[in-house]
């Protein structure tokens, strides 16, 4: 299964049998078969008719619309899994404070381990900043050692924040000075690296929402991330341990000079990736997304196993959280409509 990215002004999409057809200036200019598609991303002045939306929905093909200059996403999703008992069980578990705390500990520990693994790997290839990265690694290890001692989700979030500060202190040292990446920032991103991190997190979050919806889970009801109006909290949960893999993808884009500083413009303090840069980004993203989607599938399967059991797992039953383990860097490479919370704000302050 694959994704289709449409980022071209003045294009109209129609359904023609088992194909998606592109028209420009009333002339047919391209055709894509529907069979291999799992999702369609639309950006810019793209139009399509209702019959195509219906056909995409029937086949479970999610549509992600990135609107405006900032690419604010909205999702159109196909039919969810028919087993509503999953959602009922999910709602019950979300009210179990002990279960949510165990789940949150597993998430935070796995995320810190994944951050540690990425910085440790990159330290070997960047001797000029080895000392700074080594200091950050010690701070990350200290945070990881404290996870099980945290007695509340609020305390875990504070620990996660401390780990994120240590992580980005190291991560920023890996980029060229001309990119002006000095810290994580968003809404709006103020430099090229943050712009690409935000776009990557947004796409990853959208993928998580689609997978959860298709699996019959409610993306809005999380266990670590609390209820928040308009936020898909369970999607926030399942992407946490995959963020360092996304970060590695972003690092490689700049290291290989797929993206450069001149691919970006700044308007009203917001740094934005231009159209030519977006084309190269989407091409690279589709390859990297295969590993991320496998990670999402594993994490969602793990959640289904838990909510489908007759009782919550015991405190020491770690196997139920196996999907929330670090993903190695080599793993990288009728319709309902839902506004999607921008993923770089997906429940954290990092």
Percent of the chain with pLDDT over 90: 44
| pLDDT attached to residue 68 | 60
Q: What is the rounded CA–CA span in Å between residue 128 and residue 154?
A: 37
> Looking at the structure, do residues 47 and 97 belong to the same domain, yes or no?
no
Q: Is residue 163 in some structural domain?
A: yes
| pLDDT attached to residue 330 | 43
Calculate the average pLDDT of the chain: 82
Of 43, 45, 44, 56, whose CA–CA distance to 14 is shortest? 56
| pLDDT attached to residue 338 | 39
Query: What CATH number corresponds to the domain at position 17?
Result: 3.100.10.20
> Looking at the structure, do residues 230 and 328 belong to the same domain, yes or no?
yes
Q: Name the band, by pLDDT with cuts 50, 70 and 90, for residue 111.
A: very high
Q: Is residue 338 in some structural domain?
A: no
| CB of 53 closer than 8 Å to CB of 15 | no
Q: Is residue 316 in some structural domain?
A: yes
> Looking at the structure, do residues 62 and 29 belong to the same domain, yes or no?
yes
Q: What is the rounded CA–CA span in Å between residue 107 and residue 109?
A: 6
> Looking at the structure, do residues 34 and 101 belong to the same domain, yes or no?
no
Q: Encode 22-38: b = buried (16+ Cβ within 10 Å), e = exposed.
A: beeeeeeeeebebeebb
> Looking at the structure, do residues 234 and 91 belong to the same domain, yes or no?
yes
What 3-state DSSP class applies to 289? Answer: helix
| pLDDT attached to residue 162 | 96
| pLDDT attached to residue 231 | 87
Query: What CATH number corresponds to the domain at position 221?
Result: 1.20.120.920
The pTM of the full predicted model, rounded to 2 decimals, is: 0.77
For residues 48 and 176, the model is more confident at: 176
> Looking at the structure, do residues 99 and 184 belong to the same domain, yes or no?
yes
> Looking at the structure, do residues 63 and 159 belong to the same domain, yes or no?
no
Q: What is the rounded CA–CA span in Å between residue 197 and residue 225?
A: 20
> Looking at the structure, do residues 184 and 286 belong to the same domain, yes or no?
yes
> Looking at the structure, do residues 27 and 149 belong to the same domain, yes or no?
no
CA distances from residue 324 to 103, 112, 170 in whole angstroms, order as listed: 9, 11, 23
Q: Is residue 180 in some structural domain?
A: yes
CB atoms within 10 A of CB 142: 14
> Looking at the structure, do residues 97 and 19 belong to the same domain, yes or no?
no
Over residues 311-337, the pLDDT tens digits come to 444 545 444 455 455 444 444 333 333
- pLDDT greater than 80 at residue 147: yes
Q: How many domains does the chain have?
A: 2
Q: Is residue 78 in some structural domain?
A: no
> Looking at the structure, do residues 182 and 42 belong to the same domain, yes or no?
no
| CB of 284 closer than 8 Å to CB of 258 | yes
Over residues 62-98, the pLDDT tens digits come to 787 776 655 566 766 666 666 788 889 999 999 999 9
Give me the domain span that covers residue 210. 84-333
Q: Name the band, by pLDDT with cuts 50, 70 and 90, for residue 131.
A: very high
> Looking at the structure, do residues 244 and 121 belong to the same domain, yes or no?
yes
What values do phi and psi take at 16, rounded to 5? Answer: -140, 95
């Amino acid at each position: 299964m694959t994704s289709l990215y449409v980022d071209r002004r003045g294009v109209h999409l129609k359904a023609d049998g088992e194909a998606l057809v592109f028209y420009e200036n009333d002339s047919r200019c391209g055709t894509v078969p529907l069979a291999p598609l799992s999702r369609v991303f639309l950006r810019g002045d793209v139009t399509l008719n209702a019959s195509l939306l219906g056909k995409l929905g029937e086949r479970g093909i999610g549509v992600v619309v990135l609107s405006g200059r900032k690419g604010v996403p909205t999702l159109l999703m196909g039919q969810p899994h028919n087993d509503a008992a999953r959602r009922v069980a999910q709602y019950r578990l979300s009210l179990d404070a002990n279960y949510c705390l165990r789940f949150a500990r597993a998430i935070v520990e796995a995320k810190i381990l994944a951050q540690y693994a990425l910085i440790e790997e990159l330290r070997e290839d960047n001797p000029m900043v080895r000392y700074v990265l080594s200091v950050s690694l010690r701070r990350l290890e200290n945070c990881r050692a404290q996870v099980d001692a945290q007695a509340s989700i609020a305390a875990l979030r504070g620990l996660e924040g401390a780990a994120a500060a240590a992580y980005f202190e190291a991560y920023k040292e890996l980029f060229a000075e001309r990119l002006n990446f000095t810290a994580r920032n968003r809404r709006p991103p103020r430099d090229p690296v943050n712009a690409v991190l935000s776009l990557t997190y947004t796409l990853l979050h959208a993928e998580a929402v689609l997978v959860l919806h298709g699996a019959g889970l409610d993306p809005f009801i999380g266990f670590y991330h609390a209820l928040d109006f308009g936020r898909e909290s369970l999607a926030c949960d399942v992407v946490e341990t995959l963020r360092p893999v996304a970060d590695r993808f972003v690092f490689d884009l700049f290291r290989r000079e797929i993206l450069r500083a001149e691919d970006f413009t700044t308007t009203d303090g917001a740094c934005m990736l231009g159209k030519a840069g977006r084309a190269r980004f989407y091409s690279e993203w589709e390859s990297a997304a295969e590993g991320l989607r496998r990670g999402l599938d594993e994490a969602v399967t793990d959640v289904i196993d838990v909510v489908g059991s007759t009782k919550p797992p015991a405190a020491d039953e770690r196997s139920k959280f196996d999907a929330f383990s670090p993903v190695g860097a080599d793993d990288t490479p009728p319709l309902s409509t839902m506004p999607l919370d921008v993923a770089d704000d997906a429940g954290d302050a990092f």
